[in-house]
Amino acid sequence: MGLFDKLKAEFIDIIEWLDPSNDTMLYRFERYQNEIKYGAKLVVRESQVAVFVNEGQLADVFQPGTYTLETKNVPILATLKGWKYGFNSPFKAEVYFANTKNFTDRKWGTKNPVMLRDPEFGPIRLRAFGSYTVRIKDPVKVIREIAGTDPRFNVEEITEQLRNIIITRFSDAIAQSRIPAIDMSAHYDELSKLIQDKVQPEYDEYGLQLSKLLVENISFPPEVEEAIDKRNSMGVIGNLDNFMKYQAANSMTVAAANPNGGASSGIGMGMGFAMANQMATSFQQHQAQPAQGPQAGGPPPIPGAVSFHVVINGQQAGPYDENALRQMIMQQQLTPGSFVWKQGMAAWAKASDVPEIAVLFAPPGPPPVPPM
């Protein structure tokens, strides 16, 4: 500082800070050799707090207002300096202005997915991001714990640490909430409050207050979102046969739109038609299968008619009457080696060993003899 600055400082008797920035949390008022004139005016504006420091020791704290710096207004500083009867000469002290406004729209987000165990999906990875608002709650603790002797301490210098605390407590909070991952989007307010309550005690250690925390989005990894979309699509489609036909139609559309054209397009179209024909045949066969007794919604057996249960593909089916058994033989669903059972039989037996069914396998007899 030059001679002009020294002379200028001698005439300055107003101590105030007009903040031209939007991110300064703490500012040290500059005076030549930290000298303050007796009777100087201290102006502390709204959203500010002034802190006096004497030789490294925190002294008096001034809330918003205008003060005349006299012995009675700086009792702690007067005690530290040993003034018993007042003073009339300039005294040395550092003055820090703390900006107590809210620093808004601070961003937080997970750098890497957070591993969780979900009751529906099992182990799963989640990403999340949001915003928060922070302000100075205790300026003395801010100076002592994080700012130190920094003449201009801004919020960016501690943003990384504040963000890491939120991310760390985020995973604890969502595990404690026991909210299924698929339902979290409906509980952002609840999660925000839970995370804020877990983070605030750690912000208190720095003299800061977490005024507001918002969870803006919680998302699944892309592959999980794709699986959920497929499952939802299946739920909407419902009927599997219709879904297979729908897929075949999509295949034909894609093949027709293939920019390579020519033979490849023809092959794609052919494959699509073949798939459609195959599925249509399968569907028709499924529709043509004989009704499996009363369980299938058909009429009950004719009174007095003999009905048999049949083992088909390892599963019990039936009972079937004689007409149904003949149809199953024609479709090769019932063979001589198939196991059958009817009421009164002690155990299952092969169809060829049951006279009532064995006769159904016999080829038709010769036609009637022509008249002579």
Domain assignment of residue 356, yes or no: yes
Domain assignment of residue 230, yes or no: no
| 12 vs 139: which has the higher pLDDT | 139
Domain assignment of residue 42, yes or no: yes
Domain assignment of residue 368, yes or no: no
Domain assignment of residue 366, yes or no: no
199 has a pLDDT exceeding 60? yes
Q: What is the mean pLDDT of the segment spanning 184-204? A: 92
Domain assignment of residue 234, yes or no: no
Quickly state the pLDDT bin for 119 (edges 50, 70, 90). confident
Query: What's the one-letter identity of residue 143?
Result: I
Quickly state the pLDDT bin for 295 (edges 50, 70, 90). very low
Asked whether 220 and 124 are in contact (CB, 8 A), the reply is yes
Domain assignment of residue 269, yes or no: yes
pLDDT value of position 299: 57
Do residues 210 and 151 share a domain?
yes
Do residues 112 and 180 share a domain?
yes
**Per the structure, how many domains does the chain have?**
4
Do residues 357 and 345 share a domain?
yes
Domain assignment of residue 229, yes or no: no
pLDDT value of position 213: 95
The model scores a pTM over 0.75 = no
Do residues 53 and 110 share a domain?
no
Distance between CA 209 and CA 232 in Å, rounded?
43
Asked whether 127 and 218 are in contact (CB, 8 A), the reply is yes
The residue range of the domain holding 90 is 3-99
Do residues 211 and 133 share a domain?
yes
Asked whether 130 and 81 are in contact (CB, 8 A), the reply is no
| 278 vs 208: which has the higher pLDDT | 208
Distance between CA 252 and CA 256 in Å, rounded?
6
Do residues 268 and 338 share a domain?
no
Of the chain, the end-to-end C-alpha distance in Å amounts to 146
